[in-house]
Structure 1
Amino acid sequence: MQSVLIVIHILIVVALIAVVLLQRSEGGALGTGGGTGSFMTGRGQANALSRATAILGAMFFATALLMSILSSWSRAPHSILDKGGAPAPAGQTAPTPISPGNILDQLKQMEGHSSAPSAPPPAPAAPAPAAPAAPQPKP
């Protein structure tokens, strides 16, 4: 059903483009200028083309709405909360859930879980050497 509707929609689009391009514009563009031997007079041509544009435009909107309605029928409702997260790699365990609260509290709690109790604290860094004095300008 959807493929048939898409084909009809494309045919309507092509026809709408052709009808719009055939219309006379202020600058003359692609519209037929009328003259002797033309199929329709200028006034009759404008009425027929404007009417065809209105009908094709309405058909375009109708098929577009129908396609969106049909696509929503096949979509099943779902919740992102029902889906689980990405599975953990084979060698790793899933992280433990963190209690709600401030982000800083959560980071501190994660840091407390990740540090091993047997690891010694890191040694303080040696003080940085003092910067050399700037040379004095000569007078």
Structure 2
Amino acid sequence: MRDSDPTDEERTFFSELLWRVPGLHDWYHEDPDGTPWIVASYDFVVGDHVHKTLRLDYDGTNLRGGWSPACLNWDDGVRADEALIDTAPPDGLRLDGVDPGAAAVAASSWFAMHLDRWEQQAR
């Protein structure tokens, strides 16, 4: 986690995203060159155990989303591409050149798809 406050882009993105998908967590990071980025995550819990975690990276321009290989235990703070997160459809999300508002809309649809699928499996 980085020490600096969220950027305006991160604040806009996460507040819009959280409004659409309650229950998300936010984690703020910084690349070695100082580039800030955020991870938005959702834990799928069974009993008292985190069964799976969806993670989505956003750096103000690019979105990368997929399943965390370790429920963010070792891959939090590591960009999705570096952590070898599968960002290909149908489970992944990979968009370039999106502003915070458009990113929040795309990310909320992506999270909602997974949440709906999880609820259907639980029935």
Could you state the TM-score of these two structures normalised by the residue count of structure 1?
Answer: 0.24
Could you state the TM-score of these two structures normalised by the residue count of structure 2?
Answer: 0.27
Q: Which has the higher helix share?
A: 1
Larger radius of gyration: 1
Higher relative contact order (CA 8 A, sep 6+): 2
